[in-house]
Amino acid sequence: MAALTEEQSILKDQATSWVEAELPVQKFREFRNANSDGGFDPKAWSAMVDMGWTGILVPEAYGGSDLGYLTFGVILEQLGRQLCASPLFASAYVGASAINLGGSDEQKQQWLPAIVDGSEILTLAVDEQPRHQRDAIACAAKASDGGFVLSGAKTFVPEGMSATAFVVAAKSDAGDVELFLVPANTTGVSRSGMATVDNRDYARVTLSDVAVPAESHLGAMSGGELYEQVLNRACAGVAMEMLGVGCFSFEMTLDYLKTRKQFGKVIGSFQALGHRAAELYSAQEMARSCAEAGVIAIDNDADDQAAMSALSKAKTGEFLFDMSNQLIQIHGGIGMTDDYDAGFYLKRARALEALYGNQALHRDRYATLLGF
């Protein structure tokens, strides 16, 4: 993996051992069995807050540790391995990115410390249709009485039922997609939960003539630039979680190849399966390089960070798609049973594939960014 500083290594080790001890996939199973409408365990979430993970992207002046995107990505990877459910990514990664990049000093003062201490849970409300498309935003933000009136409907909003505030993507009078901070209890905001295969918290959010003050607009970057940058960062973060989901799927599969016997031999001794494992391993290593390069490009403020973000989401997507299918296939019958964890990984894999655009969308973006 990428070279880490001592501080990053310590955090990674802490995350790895905490996730394995406190929030293994068995906990996800228990939670799912008890809560079929999705969500996360609040105790696990407050433990993450206590460990300071909510402050990784937040400047020290606002109560965070400002350790950057690779550090956050490494934690997302560990959480992905055990399918840990929490609003950490939606709030402390995507939400914090939006405010860091687009917020005024006052907005940062108001929101960032609250993200860090967990008293506010932010989430980006962007999609309005089942297929993510960056420019398909109909939700309108009309200037009115010195503020804005937002109207529209959002769907598949991650952590949408537990969020205390939405970062709403809406089209300004000038036709640019801008971001607005809308507390969930604002008059005119309503939401309802959606039951999904990955048993996470998703909501439909309706905005009916929601009046918000001028200071709800994240205006430090104009002309739709903030929206693009926040989505680019979000995609690189999703890629790191996908990497964790895929790597653990690979390890489960490899372990099974070494222990399951048929025809008097472990099945990993069959060349067809040995070669399949070799191809998956190669895809995993390529995916890791791309996922890490995505978050490192943000930390370095690299000129090509938009392309690297698209690359990271597309290549980890390619790996995880194949890996999650082979996870089921190689496990055979047991992989089809709900008692076994493989299905959880397949389901989460597809939810993450669709989130903020699938492989094809990011290949299209990559080509466009490279000029063809």
Beta-bridge partners for 143? 148
Q: Is 311 in the site for other proteins (CB under 8 A)?
A: yes
Question: Which listed residue (268, 335, 343, 357) binds other proteins by CB under 8 A?
Answer: 268
Report the residue number, 270 or 340, with the smaller CB distance to other proteins. 270
Closest CA to 126 of 155, 103, 100: 155
Beta-bridge partners for 122? 165
Q: Is 278 in the site for other proteins (CB under 8 A)?
A: yes
Report the residue number, 164 or 289, with the smaller CB distance to other proteins. 289
Question: Which listed residue (286, 300, 340, 350) binds other proteins by CB under 8 A?
Answer: 286
DSSP 338-366: TTSTHHHHHHHHHHHHHTT--HHHHHHHH
- Binding-site size for other proteins (CB under 8 A) equals 40
Q: Is 302 in the site for other proteins (CB under 8 A)?
A: no
Distance CA 27, CA 21 (A): 10
Distance CA 90, CA 96 (A): 9
Report the residue number, 292 or 353, with the smaller CB distance to other proteins. 292
Q: Is 368 in the site for other proteins (CB under 8 A)?
A: yes
> H/E element holding 123?
strand 122-125
Distance CA 236, CA 296 (A): 9
Q: Candidates 15-23, 200-208, 267-275, 323-331 — which segment interacts with other proteins by CB under 8 A?
A: 267-275
Question: Which positions ≥6 away from 301 have C-beta within 8 Å?
Answer: none
Q: Is 258 in the site for other proteins (CB under 8 A)?
A: yes
List b or e across 21-30, with b for residues whose CB sees 16 or more CB atoms inside 10 angstroms: eebebebbbe
CB of 254 to other proteins, least distance (A): 6
Question: Which listed residue (27, 191, 288, 331) binds other proteins by CB under 8 A?
Answer: 288
Angle, vertex CA 131, rays to CA 127 and CA 294, nearest 5: 80
CB of 276 to other proteins, least distance (A): 9
Question: Which listed residue (125, 137, 290, 342) binds other proteins by CB under 8 A?
Answer: 290
> H/E element holding 31?
helix 25-34
Report the residue number, 187 or 271, with the smaller CB distance to other proteins. 271
Beta-bridge partners for 225? none
Residues 314-353 that bind other proteins (CB under 8 A): 314-315
Closest CA to 152 of 143, 142, 144, 162: 142
Q: Is 251 in the site for other proteins (CB under 8 A)?
A: no
Q: Is 263 in the site for other proteins (CB under 8 A)?
A: no
Positions that interact with other proteins (CB under 8 A): 1-3, 254, 257-258, 265-266, 268-271, 273-275, 277-279, 281-282, 285-290, 292-293, 311, 314-315, 360, 363-364, 366-368, 370-372
